[in-house]
Amino acid sequence: MLTPFLVALSFLTIIPCRIRKEISSQAISNSRAYYPLIGLAIGTLLLIIEQTCSYIFPSTITAALLTATLAIITRGLHLDGFMDVADGLFGAYKSQDRLNIMKDSHVGSFAAVSSILILLLKYTAFLSILSLNAPGKELTIVLVPCLSRWSMVLQLNLFSYARENGLGSSFRHEHSGFATLFAFVTVSIICLSFGGPLGVTLLIILSSIAFMLGKIMSKMLGGLTGDCYGATNELIETLGFILAVPLVTAGFLLPLNRMISWMPKIPVELQILFIAVIIDVLFGDPPNKLHPTAWIGSSIMWLKRLTPKSNTSRFLYGAMIAITIPTMWAGSSYIVGHAAMSLNGIVYVLVSALILKTTFSIRMLHKTPFKIKILLESGNLEQVRVEMSALVSRNTTTMDDTQAIAATIESVSENVTDSFVAPILAFALFGLPGAVAYRAINTLDR
């Protein structure tokens, strides 16, 4: 856990971190989990500089120092990526030509002009924020660097990589869904805790802009690169500071309960279901070690080892397991939900959504069959057999193309019911404990 954090700290800042053991590709990819925290630390540093310099220098010098600090603390890494992207996107018309320009170490005219413009915009935004008399300007200085680092995590998870190798490719790994989810929960908590309505508004707007930037760059380049992530950070950071001016002026620092006063009009169950589906589509499943369904399976396997030998005892013992396992896990979900409700209604909705998400998987139903389709089209039958093992319980080592297609269709058809329709129906009828109980019963059947 410490290694990914140190990787994130050393990559996103100028701070040297000594990591004694060998860094795995998984650790590099998991470092994204801490990007919002690193952004929060950078924002806090900016706030300290702003509070200190405002007593010594005029706002013009303070704004210049804040702009310089952002460039220095990151070694100019993100700014360099922004310059490369500007040269690539505006310097050619074909994707490969653009990628070649971005890889070139020379600085073109587009890069020079764009870097000057974005630094001027950032300086002007800081100057405008410092001149505000409305409460909350300090919060924007802290929040925006956190949100800009989150935007890189969002793009890492949603868009494919344009090159087979490169700096950005080291940070991509197919088993990093939980790291992305951790980053999302972290940035959400930071925005709610520090920014309230202002933080939530910036999170929604800047995440949407980051997604649109990713779509545009992916279309123009055939995917994203490390330079694209850096460019996104610079653009989101600059836009965040610019947007903060009208938002703070408009009084978006109203109490949080007023901002969400409309939520009681929507049934709590629908709020939970909607958020759970969003989490699943964006982040997928957590790793097995952290997945409640895997915990249920482990508890079943442990109890199976204690199965008595006589037929009568086996029957009674099996009946006991069939009753105990669903009851135990459903009861646990009820206790956790009740504890969350005692803290706050929003906490209850978020915690319940996280638990409900673990009872179904929409993204897996799309991702795995689509991956098998791509592998079949490329003729990689051996890898198809490996991927098929995630869908079916039968032996896949001797499957041919036709059998793999038939098994995929059969499995997806079955899993639409098992992995989505049934748990959602159980949730609608019996609430969160019902969905968890269904997942436990379904796991017992395997």
pLDDT digits (tens, 9 = 90+) for 384-408: 777 777 666 667 777 777 877 887 7
Residue the block writes with tokens 């079955």: 414
Over residues 20-25, mean pLDDT = 69
Select the highest-mean-pLDDT range: 9-18, 166-175, 283-292, 362-371: 9-18
Q: What is the pLDDT of residue 1?
A: 56
Confidence of residue 259 (pLDDT cuts 50, 70, 90): very low
Q: What is the pLDDT of residue 99?
A: 83
242 vs 309, which has greater pLDDT? 242
State pLDDT tens for residues 264-308.
456 788 888 888 887 777 677 776 677 777 888 888 888 888 888
Q: What is the pLDDT of residue 341?
A: 82
83 and 112 both lie in a single domain: yes
Confidence of residue 151 (pLDDT cuts 50, 70, 90): very high
- Rg (C-alpha) for the chain, rounded Å, is 25
- pLDDT at residue 222 above 80? yes
143 vs 413, which has greater pLDDT? 143
- 3-state helix/strand/coil string of the chain: CHHHHHHHHHHHCCCCCCCCCCCCHHHHHHHHHHHHHHHHHHHHHHHHHHHHHCCCCCHHHHHHHHHHHHHHHCCCHHHHHHHHHHHHHHHCCCHHHHHHHHHCCCCCHHHHHHHHHHHHHHHHHHHHHHCCCCCCHHHHHHHHHHHHHHHHHHHHHHCCECCCCCCHHHHCCCCCHHHHHHHHHHHHHHHHHHHHHHHHHHHHHHHHHHHHHHHHHHHHHCCECHHHHHHHHHHHHHHHHHHHHHHHHCCCCCCHHHHCCCHHHCCHHHHHHHHHHHHHHHHCCCCHHHCHHHHHHHHHHHHHCCCCCCHHHHHHHHHHHHHHHHHHHHHHHHHHHHHHHHHCHHHHHHHHHHHHHCCCCHHHHHHHHHHHHHHHHHCCHHHHHHHHCCCCCCCCCCCCHHHHHHHHHHHHHHHHHHHHHHHHHHHHHHHHHHHHHHHHHHHHCC
- pLDDT at residue 22 above 80? no
250 and 274 both lie in a single domain: no
Question: Is the four-CA dihedral 161, 166, 168, 169 of positive or negative sign?
Answer: positive
253 and 377 both lie in a single domain: no
Over residues 426-442, mean pLDDT = 89
- pLDDT at residue 9 above 70? yes
Q: What is the pLDDT of residue 261?
A: 45
Over residues 120-139, mean pLDDT = 86
Question: Comparing C-alpha atoms, which of 159, 282, 154 is closest to residue 220?
Answer: 159
| Residue 161 β-bridge partners | 224
Q: What is the pLDDT of residue 446?
A: 61
Confidence of residue 190 (pLDDT cuts 50, 70, 90): confident
CB atoms within 10 A of CB 198: 23
The CA-CA-CA angle for residues 272, 275, 277, to 5°, reads 105
Last residue of a domain, one of 257, 291, 310: 257
225 and 117 both lie in a single domain: yes
State pLDDT tens for residues 327-350.
888 888 889 888 888 776 777 888
Last residue of a domain, one of 222, 257, 292: 257
Q: Which domain holds residue 281?
A: 262-446
379 and 238 both lie in a single domain: no
263 vs 305, which has greater pLDDT? 305
Q: What is the pLDDT of residue 144?
A: 92
Last residue of a domain, one of 257, 284, 316: 257
**Predicted TM-score (pTM) of this structure:** 0.62
Q: What is the pLDDT of residue 440?
A: 87
Confidence of residue 122 (pLDDT cuts 50, 70, 90): very high
222 and 284 both lie in a single domain: no
206 and 308 both lie in a single domain: no
409 and 331 both lie in a single domain: yes
Over residues 105-132, mean pLDDT = 89
Over residues 198-206, mean pLDDT = 85
219 and 314 both lie in a single domain: no
Please give the share of the chain, as a percent, with pLDDT higher than 70.
87
CA atoms within 13 A on the CB side of 38: 28
In the chain, the number of structural domains is 2
State pLDDT tens for residues 46-96.
989 998 898 899 999 999 999 999 999 988 888 988 998 888 888 778 888
198 and 235 both lie in a single domain: yes
